[in-house]
Amino acid sequence: MTHTTEHAPTRAHPDRVHLDNGGRARWHPLARQAFLQAVDDGWADPRRLHTEGRRAAALLDGAREAVAGVLGARTEEVRFTHSHTTALHSAVLAAADGRRRAGGDVVVSTVERAAVLHAAHDAAATHGGRRVDVPVDRTGRVDPDAMADALASPGVALAALQHANGEVGTLQPVEDVHARALAAGVPLLVDAGASLGHVALPPSWDLLAADPADWGAPAGVGVLAARGRVRLVLRGPEDPEPWAPGGVSVPAAFAAAVGLQAVAADREAEDARRRALIDRVRATVATVPDVEVVGEPDARLPHVATFSFLYVDGEALLTELDRAGLAVGSGSACTASTLEPSHVLAAMGVLTHGNVRIALDRSTTEQDVDRFLAVLPGAVARVREMLGVGGL
């Protein structure tokens, strides 16, 4: 039995099936329990010297040590930040600044998270370099040779490559790229925001960022780890905690650590269970007419599936599914506040409209997936009918 089934809470909304768990998942029961415990025991300011403050500090230290244990890092190499986004921003800016004498260029894959792309742009601009974008193939995977060539060029301060892409599930060749980065003397930032807690993390990173909200812990805290050998220069107003000015929430950090230990403990069982469900989703969705199931079919996250339906308005499809009790994600422009579609789908050269993304949580059941697969084809057909696209 997994932690999930042992501790599964009664769903507050049993009629809803939530399949949009990438980057923000239902709290893991043990993370929730840890959070409540830390609200009682760790509410005080951990920088104060009284008993209550020291109790909070002990929870925070324990959390840091626990996260380091799962990452295979030393405790002092791990820092909590205010969010995953902040961790990415700080990692890029501080590592690029620390290596400004080597050059100003920052090498990234085109499917990195927007926070990495924007920070890389800013860091490069500050140090007179440029952001070097390395393209991906149709599955969203970067070519390790192209990445290696780019990062071995003169003037590169830093390279960034995600462990897996959270939008399409594709795993990146981080071990190969890290070996080449090491040979070139360029630090590699690995964004594990979509992968930590879902697949095994190789030790091939110099800087690493992770997202507790993705593994069922609270949002409002992020993880940044940096190997001791990496030179970091973080600019900003003086603060005793420069990576999280003012300090992080002790309950959030404690819950993040307990949640991470919980998902690490049942990771292999949950990988097998969810991979089998996603295999079924990919095979069944592929039988809907005019669909592109995107992302690497094998070397991928176990819990993510993404597909685009030709001639389908993504917003209309999401609304149709939501009405049927199913929450899903999308990278289509028609569903975002911006006009721009997902830069990941665009970089892969796949259809960006009519896009649906699902990410299964540990609490997602086989019945949930059955219900999704039963509803989806009819919903697609109705949306297409509204647009009158029969015969195209």
Partner 1 sequence: MSDEQAAGPALVDARGLRCPLPVIRLAARARDLPAGALVTVLATDPAARHDVPAWARMRGHETAGERRVVPDDGAEEHWALTVRLGPPPGRAS
Of residues 41 and 315, the one with the C-beta less far from partner 1: 315
Q: Say how many residues touch partner 1, by CB under 8 A.
A: 26
H-type helices in the chain, by residue range? 3-7, 29-41, 51-71, 84-98, 114-126, 144-151, 174-184, 250-265, 267-285, 314-323, 343-348, 366-387
CB of 137 to partner 1, least distance (A): 14
Q: Which of 38, 148, 334, 347 is catalytic?
A: 334
Of residues 232 and 333, the one with the C-beta less far from partner 1: 333
CA atoms within 13 A on the CB side of 375: 19
Q: Quick check: helix, strand or coil at residue 319?
A: helix
Of residues 154 and 391, the one with the C-beta less far from partner 1: 391
Binding pattern to partner 1, positions 371-390, x when CB under 8 A? ----------------x-x-
Tell me which of 234, 310, 375, 381 binds partner 1, using CB under 8 A: 310
Contact between 354 and partner 1 (CB under 8 A)?
Answer: yes
- Dihedral-angle region of residue 388 (phi above 0 means left; psi in -120 to 50 means alpha; beta otherwise): left
CB of 280 to partner 1, least distance (A): 23
- What does the alpha-carbon distance between residue 94 and residue 122 come to, in Å, rounded to a whole number? 12
- What does the alpha-carbon distance between residue 181 and residue 38 come to, in Å, rounded to a whole number? 40
- What does the alpha-carbon distance between residue 277 and residue 359 come to, in Å, rounded to a whole number? 11
Contact between 295 and partner 1 (CB under 8 A)?
Answer: no
Q: CA angle at residue 66 from 62 to 70, to 5 degrees?
A: 170
b/e per residue, 70-86, with b = 16+ CB within 10 A? bbebeeebbbbbbbbbb
Of residues 8 and 387, the one with the C-beta less far from partner 1: 387
221 part of the active site: no
Residues 91-130 that bind partner 1 (CB under 8 A): none
Tell me which of 39, 219, 346, 373 binds partner 1, using CB under 8 A: 346
At 51, which amino acid appears? T
Contact between 292 and partner 1 (CB under 8 A)?
Answer: yes
Contact between 352 and partner 1 (CB under 8 A)?
Answer: yes
**Chain positions contacting partner 1, by CB under 8 A:** 290, 292, 308, 310-314, 332-334, 339-341, 345-346, 349-354, 387, 389, 391-392
